[in-house]
Structure 1
Amino acid sequence: MYCYQCEETALHSGCTVKGVCGKRESTAGLQDLLVFVVRGMAWYGEALTGLGLGDRTHDSFIRRALFSTITNVGWDDTRFVALIEEALERRNALRRRFLERTGASWAEPLPEAATWHAPALAFAAKAADVGVLATENPDIRSLRELLVLGVKGIAAYAEHAAHLGYEKAEIGLFIERAMAATLRDLPADTLVALVLEAGHVAIAAMALLDEANTTTYGAPEISQVALGVRTRPGILVSGHDLRDLEELLRQTEGTGLDVYTHGEMLPAHAYPALKKYPHLAGNYGGAWWQQTQDFEAFQGPILMTTNCLVPLRQDNTYLDRLYTTGVVSYEGAHHVADRPEGGAKDFSALIARARQCPPPTALEAGQLTIGFAHQQVLALAGAVVEAVQQGAIRRFVVMAGCDGRHRARTYYTEVAQTLPQDSVILTAGCAKYRYNKLDLGTINGIPRVLDAGQCNDSYSLALIALALKDAFGLEDINELPVSYDIAWYEQKAVAVLLALLALGVKGIRLGPSLPAFLSPAVAQVLVERFHLRPIGSVDEDVAAMMAGA
């Protein structure tokens, strides 16, 4: 086992026995093998595209396969075995089509990922040969992994959009080309170019998801979300998938049950088509890493729609109340099957379980203000520009990204508390749980924490920055009074980072630590081109950001 795709990887190097996240060696190996076979699929797909025989019918499977390997998504080895078997079947179908077209005329040698085949009993042995360390050159390995991890994030965002019927062939074509590229002996400069191209595709994927969400559920509105609980039994929904939440809300109408959101589902309360349900009761608990306490206290069933699911502690008792769906898997949990073509998922078993449970235990009270996606902030653009011109707002600090368990993440709470009163925090993703419940006040009626939504809604923050650039008549986005102090944890955050780099944003502080998959040479490239830097001390970073450095 060697896994270093998340921020909390062991010793900031790589997990070699068991993941800090809780991932077993067997699971890590199966995930590596799944990615290996998907690379083989991509190789044939790209070749067939070049021959005018492109086949987009496999895009959905490739997205789901890559999404399943993101940190804290899949925990059930049997699900990965099934995915590998399906990937081999699909790859072999592509191979047959390729050979029918080319015969013996193809000059390029076929990579092993395009030819290897074995029964499931041999999967574990093969997995040991195809992981991260299969690439010997550390800089090429670093660039390949940076590309693959960014593509995983792109695949996840594109899959969310596809659930609402929004797809773009261009995204599938890039995923195919990028994964195939990792099987070729490409020079570092070519891989760097692909990594930066991935940033542009990440923007396209987040824009597509934004279009899907807002067209389906309406543009987010500034909204108050209750943090307390009601007296009826409830269902807790975590993850990111809004369609799953919508279908559950429909199926629980009139049942006497309430539905609560958790973690990255908090922004659902800002969408008009979702907030209209009176039994969408509020948000429960905090960020993903606190879920073992939150889920235990909730007492009702929990629906995990996407990442981030963490292993249960030995003293947890909610496994029989845990339901997974989509790409999420966990041994012993109930799994809600995919929706049939043109239909909805069947949540009847989960609803029946909820009827047997007591109401949730109250954790806190009060409200949160959310809904500051780009449509709402741009509607306030005049007031924002005026506040800047009058000196009431001196600096915007983008503190988006992922939260995590590491003690160093208290840095983000302390930054929020230390920033002067003439600064505004722009946030998206679960990183906001480090400070979104602090009373930081307002500036001319504008809250000092503007929450744009989920991690994919970092796209909103980019649009806000671009609109402010135009409003102030600036040529360069980096001339804005905006600093970037980003927290990262998993591969969706890698896609967001690449998107910001593709937009030309420079001077990003990234923490709590720079990715372990960046070799010193690759990290230096990012430092030189984009002035990427690690976080430092709270006081020094706040002073530097307020000074525009």
Structure 2
Amino acid sequence: MEKKMFCFQCEQTAGCTGCTGSAGVCGKDAKVAALQDQLTGAMIALANTCKGCPNEPETDRLIIEGLFTTITNVNFNQNTIFEMIQKVHNRTQELASQCGCMSATDYDMKQIWDADEDIRSLKSLILFGIRGMAAYAYHAEMLGYRDEKVNAFFYKALQTISQEFGMEQLLPVVLEVGEVNLQCMALLDQANTTSYGTPEPTKVSLQIEKGPFIVVSGHDLKDLELLLEQTKGKGINVYTHGEMLPAHGYPKLKKYAHLKGNFGTAWQNQQKEFANVPGAFLFTTNCLMPVKPSYADRVFTTEVVSYPEIVHIDDKKDFTPVIEKALELGGYQEDQERSGINGGKYVMTGFGHGTVLSVADKVIEGVKAGDISHFFLVGGCDGARAGRNYYTDFVKETPKDSIILTLACGKYRFNDLDLGEINGLPRIMDMGQCNDAYSAIQVAIALSKAFECDVNELPLSMILSWYEQKAVCILLTLIHLGIKNIYLGPTLPAFLSQNVLQYLVEHYAISPTSTPQQDLKKILG
């Protein structure tokens, strides 16, 4: 009998309700989905076993890696997930032995999936939120930064979803996910800027030069730095892809002359854009799609990313196989003219909070003089579902005296548009990766202080696209901060029950996106 699955953690879930067949829309099969549930249940047992025991870095790292492994489009490999389950089981038994206690039994995730829909909804918000937050904690740890409060919360959250709690007990933990994620994003911001400098506005070419090249996708700046070091002087150019684009704004990464530009558009176009390309591709984090035969021989993974029969670069970080493949393929014989979705030949990045706040006086003067009427944060995760052209159309129809702040891969819908400038400031400012929502928050708080008003009284509107679990923890952070009137699309999460959705609408005025025209009319009055 064919194995069935249940998964509704991402935006593209089948029928907007849940993937329940032999494979999910993301491409993972039912066996992988079941193993991811087993891994989560094993981590819950580990967290419950740790009650009363001091947390140790080794256990923290295992919890973070395990949560990261279950994010959408990270791991499609039964073998590596099974190995992770065994590691968690071994660690649970070790801790039980050290602490002289009984090891907890693995939690059956069906207890959540089959629960009352409101309980299921709140526990899903907690679980999916900490999965997204774990990715940020992982990236920070790769740069030597960790936070005990953030790490301790992973245990608390896992313990919470295994308890027979009601809505009144679960809701505060949901909001706490947002609070702790803000601290986690601040940690990662500190790690990135301390390691690589404060991002600065940078023009990034979409052209691919002739000769051997490697394309680096994902979010992990440390992996990119290590690859750049190992490719120095080898005649290989390096290009970013997807969420790695903001790397071009960091001064210590910009110093590498062979970091040339950005390849392709958003992550969901990779199966078409990677086909038969004479270059090597390295995936450092999520955003991997099922690999097609037309380029399978030139894809490599590292960190927690894994796909069957694809060469994996282990923690020793010897990128020799990637380098040798790039040299073997040789790249293009002539320079390749490429463009973004809207025909642009380059994109801009590097407008983090450090940059935007450095010209805060110009921004404030522009608002007071009437030159800037409104700020729109239009960003988030991109995806393939129909209806995402909404974000392109929305940006095109914003008033010419408004500023567009953007972040994450949702920007690929419109980041190559030339919308001009206001008082020397570009109308589109790319603040970075999804975790750089922290930058947008810092700018919003600074503006509210400058104008002596509440954030919700600013001429600022947030129009967000969501796809996977990082978007969930960011949304919870915005809710924790009391930010209201967020427009969310292209669909609302399937795991939100009607009662939980109603709570969010009543307390935070979250609205589903409709049409650009209707939403702009509602926002601007």
Assess if the C-alpha contact under 8 Å between 1:305 and 1:324 holds in 2: yes
* Moved beyond 6 Å, runs of 4+: none
Which of 52, 75, 84 aligns to 1:48? It is 52
User: Under a length normalisation based on structure 1, what TM-score does the superposition of the two structures give?
Assistant: 0.91
Find out whether 1:29 has 2:30 as its counterpart.
Answer: no
Q: 1-side partners of 2:383 and 2:230: how far apart?
A: 33
Query: Over residues 130-162 of structure 1, what are the superposed CA-to-partner deviations in whole Å (9 max), with x where a residue is unaligned?
Result: 347544211111111110000001111000000
Which residue is 2:494 aligned to? 516
Q: 1-side partners of 2:338 and 2:6: how far apart?
A: 38
Deviation at 1:237, TM superposition (A): 0.2
Q: 1-side partners of 2:400 and 2:358: how far apart?
A: 23
Which residue is 2:420 aligned to? 441
Find out whether 1:228 has 2:207 as its counterpart.
Answer: yes
Which residue is 1:391 aligned to? 370
Which residue is 1:178 aligned to? 157
Which of 495, 512, 520 aligns to 1:534? It is 512
Q: What are the ranges of 5 or more consecutive residues in structure 2 without an aligned counterpart?
A: none
Give the 5 Å matches for 1:283-432: 283-296=262-275, 298-313=277-292, 316-339=293-316, 345-360=317-332, 362-364=337-339, 366-432=345-411
Assess if the C-alpha contact under 8 Å between 1:402 and 1:489 holds in 2: yes
Deviation at 1:57, TM superposition (A): 2.7
Deviation at 1:292, TM superposition (A): 1.1
Which residue is 1:38 aligned to? 43
Q: 1-side partners of 2:382 and 2:214: how far apart?
A: 23
Which of 182, 188, 196 aligns to 1:209? It is 188
Assess if the C-alpha contact under 8 Å between 2:345 and 2:416 holds in 1: no
Q: What are the ranges of 5 or more consecutive residues in structure 1 without an aligned counterpart?
A: 104-109, 117-125, 340-344
Query: Over residues 263-319 of structure 1, what are the superposed CA-to-partner deviations in whole Å (9 max), with x where a residue is unaligned?
Result: 000000000000110000100100100111222253211000001000134xx4111
Deviation at 1:44, TM superposition (A): 1.6
User: Under a length normalisation based on structure 2, what TM-score does the superposition of the two structures give?
Assistant: 0.95
Q: 2-side partners of 1:492 and 1:29: how far apart?
A: 21
Q: 1:23 to 1:62 in 2, by over 3 A?
A: same
Identity over aligned residues, as a percent? 45
Deviation at 1:363, TM superposition (A): 2.9
Deviates most, 447-456 or 355-364: 355-364
Q: 2-side partners of 1:209 and 1:297: how far apart?
A: 36
Which residue is 2:8 aligned to? 4
Deviation at 1:546, TM superposition (A): 2.1
Which of 109, 115, 136 aligns to 2:105? It is 115
Cα-Cα RMSD:
1.5
Query: Over residues 464-495 of structure 1, what are the superposed CA-to-partner deviations in whole Å (9 max), with x where a residue is unaligned?
Result: 00000111111x11011001110000001111
Find out whether 1:191 has 2:143 as its counterpart.
Answer: no
Q: 2-side partners of 1:75 and 1:86: how far apart?
A: 18
**What code does the residue aligned with 1:332 have?**
E
**SS at 1:298 equivalent:** coil
Assess if the C-alpha contact under 8 Å between 1:412 and 1:434 holds in 2: yes
Deviation at 1:362, TM superposition (A): 4.3
Query: Over residues 427-449 of structure 1, what are the superposed CA-to-partner deviations in whole Å (9 max), with x where a residue is unaligned?
Result: 11001001101121111111111
Assess if the C-alpha contact under 8 Å between 1:75 and 1:331 holds in 2: yes
Deviates most, 61-70 or 88-97: 88-97
**SS at 2:306 equivalent:** coil
Which residue is 1:107 aligned to? none
**SS at 2:24 equivalent:** coil
Give the 5 Å matches for 1:143-158: 143-158=122-137
Query: Over residues 358-399 of structure 1, what are the superposed CA-to-partner deviations in whole Å (9 max), with x where a residue is unaligned?
Result: 324543372222110000000111111111111111110111
Q: 2-side partners of 1:197 and 1:445: how far apart?
A: 40
Deviation at 1:505, TM superposition (A): 0.3
**SS at 1:48 equivalent:** coil
Deviation at 1:524, TM superposition (A): 1.0
Assess if the C-alpha contact under 8 Å between 1:34 and 1:83 holds in 2: yes
Assess if the C-alpha contact under 8 Å between 1:371 and 1:452 holds in 2: yes
**SS at 2:239 equivalent:** strand
Which residue is 2:66 aligned to? 65
Q: 2-side partners of 1:397 and 1:134: how far apart?
A: 36
**SS at 2:52 equivalent:** helix
**What code does the residue aligned with 2:338 have?**
L
Assess if the C-alpha contact under 8 Å between 1:371 and 1:451 holds in 2: yes
Which residue is 1:266 aligned to? 245
**What code does the residue aligned with 1:543 have?**
K
Deviation at 1:210, TM superposition (A): 0.3
**SS at 1:281 equivalent:** strand
Give the 5 Å matches for 1:81-100: 81-98=82-99, 100=100
Which residue is 1:120 aligned to? none
Q: 2-side partners of 1:434 and 1:158: how far apart?
A: 28
Assess if the C-alpha contact under 8 Å between 2:112 and 2:123 holds in 1: no
Which of 480, 485, 498 aligns to 2:463? It is 485
Q: How many positions carry a matched residue from both structures?
A: 513
Which residue is 2:80 aligned to? 79
